[in-house]
Structure 1
């Protein structure tokens, strides 16, 4: 006599449709169950939020469930089923449910694609190029359904890397450069693994003769203005610094030293960004300056600069140029802008980079104080005048 078949928990059509619609709900509303996303309308019960969204999906798909079905207890069981089959991870989803890596809706995905496209095209980031090409192929059907909206570059940044960054592209163009760009995958793994590495600096454009081998903790890859940099901590001196990636050679060795935790990496990264926020530009100072600054012992210099029209209006537009800046506009009797007094407190390590910035405004800026910076700025102006007064030949 044949054995009576065991009925599956989802053999019933209604139960099966409930499970399928739950999957569709989480895919269509990634993050469903997050109280903030639901507008606090569910009394803090994540399953009530999921239940409401599932009813919406069922209505759109023409599935007629009985009143109040499925219950939150039904959904709790279904979520356990999704965990058992690996569609959900065996952990708490405190910020809403999502399946696999499907964490964005269409609008969020479009914004992310634009960011990846800009990083690939203008910043020359090889991994971004690869990911973007993969996404373009996999999402071609969705883009077609949306009439080409998915990949339309509504937002784009135009900063451009001024050096070769893609090793494969270098080979194709016959312009191979032996730089650290060939080993960024190793650097990224070292950052996340808390692993120290050894690099080779090819040259030093600032005349400090810092060339040769360096042992360091890599902390972050940074794009600034027109180039990629490596933010790192010196292995021996625990000094924070940043170096342009193409100034390091095609050499990267993992050091056989104890790893450090990601929390320590985060802390040192936060220290570096505190220095960035305090200063102006990329130079982070020497080891003693950094320690004093991070401990609040370093006295900052109050700098007073005066900007004249037409630059003055441009300066006023930059209300978030620096967290410690202050403006004091001065107008004439007719209400026209005469000049803008610009005040900022900076550590001594940043004075030269600040001077470099204001030099871009030529005759529209004057340094009022401190006297040392005013003297340097005036000397630069005189030097420029001398260059124009000297006879020259083609």
Structure 2
């Protein structure tokens, strides 16, 4: 189209010849050439021509398809088509002048395509226009290098020119398009149910395209607007995504019932090729780019993220939150008045600002990259940091695969697997503020192996009493074994006897441990609709502690401070019955507390 516009000054009529050659024939012809191209390139261009076939509105007097069936070419087809060029031009002019088409500001193909590419760009790169300030790395990926940019429009034009062609990078037109998209609710939450701001234009000479008429253009843009602001509309009873979308368009008086085929054509021939909708099957509802939530859902997610930022003191989450908040404000969503419906009571006890520079809690992006790429880290315990007795033998420097960042109770931890050169390594957790890491080694492993190890780590964590996973690789492997006897060899039964006061609290917490590891005596009331299968044990014969609680745990959990803290928190309202080692330790702790006050 750019070339034809330049050549238009010559006042020459141009004809487009579409050689409709099957893809397999194209590949056969390619193999006969001295300079061959890859099949992938041929397939891509074949698909591109299918998505964007030549049309008269690009500047052609006529577009003719020449069928090359079985790879044969007939020159007579071209001769016959050439004879009727003048008649074709006359017929098109008469149709345009005598039709009921209402032309508008995007009736010219160049203007229409510029708007479509602009919408696609905004969808693909949220925050476009301010990337040079906020996300220069993303802008570098688009442009290869960042030129001097002084405004939002300059950045958008640079990206449009790079991705779609300089012909669309008209600064004044782009500025007007951006304003039009915002005013008409495509890029804002304003005027979502209003008609589009279109006005009649009389062109001296115009070859129309599929959406030159106001009604067709309005239908297309309102469909885009609906999908952006109401993603994943789906009702199986209506027959799927397309019929659900059409029903909603009918309910909003955007189309009539008989427009189903037209909406299907809009989607398949225009919205998908222009990359406004993803080019795959959307069986559970339509969505555009990253516009996955509606306005109400966005507010809820913002509220949840806000509560997490306040509680967990996570630098990366804070950065995401600030970007999210800024974009909510720019999109005219009210965030200052968002009432904090939820909060998380646990909070980090670590002040990140005062940690040493190399502490992993200050290098989360580095750590996340190592996790994603399966890299081995050399980890070092910060000198003179606190250690529990059962962690004193932990090596001060060790090699490990980082697996996951976990917030547990009061701090951020790193879940890892010791590197053992192909052998199973010890799984464990350590506080991020107590670890320093050197640069990761070049050696790494696949995502599949990382995920396999993460599943094992999660199984150990979820089955244990807390964050401590022991110090024996052999014990961990036995617990993870599918052999029931091997697993039982490293399990221990913890039994507590409780008075009524403590048992009411304990019996309400049926998710403290996995239900398959848990059993209790009958409930004291029927107030809670709790899974009754857990409450199957007989009561004790003790008048003071008549209620029984049992849980099977990995044996290393007996050394976990979380388990002891939970038991001691009930004071004299529970008694440890088994194992004896735990009962004696709790008793000794009580005696030591008593001595501290003597």
* Bigger proportion of residues as strand: 1
Shift of 1:144: 5.9
Name the SS of the counterpart of 2:520 in structure 1. Answer: strand
CA distance in 2, matches of 1:194, 1:93: 33
2:405 match: 221
CA distance in 2, matches of 1:55, 1:186: 51
2:575 match: 366
CA distance in 1, matches of 2:371, 2:330: 36
CA distance in 2, matches of 1:132, 1:243: 26
- Is 2:311–2:345's contact at 8 Å kept on the other side of the alignment? yes
Residues 27-58 of structure 1 show CA distances to partners (whole Å, capped at 9, x for unaligned) of: 2221224xxxx2x2123x321122122223x4
1:392 match: none
Cα distance change, pair 27–329 in 1 and its aligned pair in 2 (3 A): same
* Bigger proportion of residues as helix: 2
1:9 match: 210
CA distance in 2, matches of 1:220, 1:375: 35
CA distance in 2, matches of 1:138, 1:79: 30
Q: Select the residue among 308, 315, 318 that pairs with 2:506.
A: 315
- Is 2:427–2:469's contact at 8 Å kept on the other side of the alignment? yes
Matched, 1:273 2:458: yes
2:594 match: 385
Shift of 1:188: 0.8
CA distance in 2, matches of 1:30, 1:387: 63
Residues 43-102 of structure 1 show CA distances to partners (whole Å, capped at 9, x for unaligned) of: 3x321122122223x42xxx4x34422x14532442442222232233333443211111
Residues 312-347 of structure 1 show CA distances to partners (whole Å, capped at 9, x for unaligned) of: 221122122212222215879xxx996531111111
Matched, 1:242 2:438: no
Shift of 1:119: 2.1
CA distance in 2, matches of 1:382, 1:10: 85
1:208 match: 392
Name the SS of the counterpart of 1:139 in structure 2. Answer: helix
Q: Select the residue among 258, 263, 269 that pairs with 1:68.
A: 258
Cα distance change, pair 160–258 in 1 and its aligned pair in 2 (3 A): closer
CA distance in 2, matches of 1:72, 1:32: 18
**1:1-394 alignment runs, 5 A limit:** 5-33=206-234, 38=235, 40-43=236-239, 45-56=240-251, 58-59=252-253, 63=254, 65-69=255-259, 71-72=260-261, 74-140=263-329, 151-165=338-352, 170=353, 175-178=354-357, 179-203=359-383, 205-206=387-388, 208-236=392-420, 237-249=424-436, 251-260=437-446, 262-285=447-470, 286-296=472-482, 297-299=486-488, 300-323=491-514, 324-329=517-522, 339-353=546-560, 354-389=563-598
Cα distance change, pair 6–233 in 1 and its aligned pair in 2 (3 A): farther
How many residue pairs end up in the alignment? 362
CA distance in 2, matches of 1:107, 1:132: 17
CA distance in 2, matches of 1:381, 1:145: 54
Name the SS of the counterpart of 1:253 in structure 2. Answer: coil
Shift of 1:161: 0.6
Shift of 1:308: 2.2
- Is 1:312–1:339's contact at 8 Å kept on the other side of the alignment? no
Name the SS of the counterpart of 1:222 in structure 2. Answer: strand
CA distance in 1, matches of 2:256, 2:596: 87
- Is 1:330–1:337's contact at 8 Å kept on the other side of the alignment? no
Shift of 1:304: 1.0
- Is 1:186–1:252's contact at 8 Å kept on the other side of the alignment? no
Q: Which has the higher contact order (CA 8 A, sep 6+)?
A: 1
Shift of 1:187: 1.0
Name the SS of the counterpart of 2:317 in structure 1. Answer: helix
Shift of 1:349: 0.9
Shift of 1:134: 2.2
Cα distance change, pair 271–51 in 1 and its aligned pair in 2 (3 A): same
CA distance in 2, matches of 1:290, 1:80: 56
Shift of 1:368: 1.3
Cα distance change, pair 367–67 in 1 and its aligned pair in 2 (3 A): closer
After TM superposition, the score normalised by the length of structure 2 is: 0.56
CA distance in 1, matches of 2:381, 2:339: 40
Cα distance change, pair 339–22 in 1 and its aligned pair in 2 (3 A): farther
Shift of 1:126: 1.0
Name the SS of the counterpart of 1:264 in structure 2. Answer: helix
After TM superposition, the score normalised by the length of structure 1 is: 0.83
CA distance in 2, matches of 1:238, 1:15: 63
CA distance in 2, matches of 1:93, 1:271: 34
Cα distance change, pair 241–94 in 1 and its aligned pair in 2 (3 A): farther
Structure 1 unaligned segments of length 5 or more: list them: 390-394
Structure 2 unaligned segments of length 5 or more: list them: 1-10, 14-60, 62-205, 525-538
Name the SS of the counterpart of 2:439 in structure 1. Answer: strand
Cα distance change, pair 258–294 in 1 and its aligned pair in 2 (3 A): same
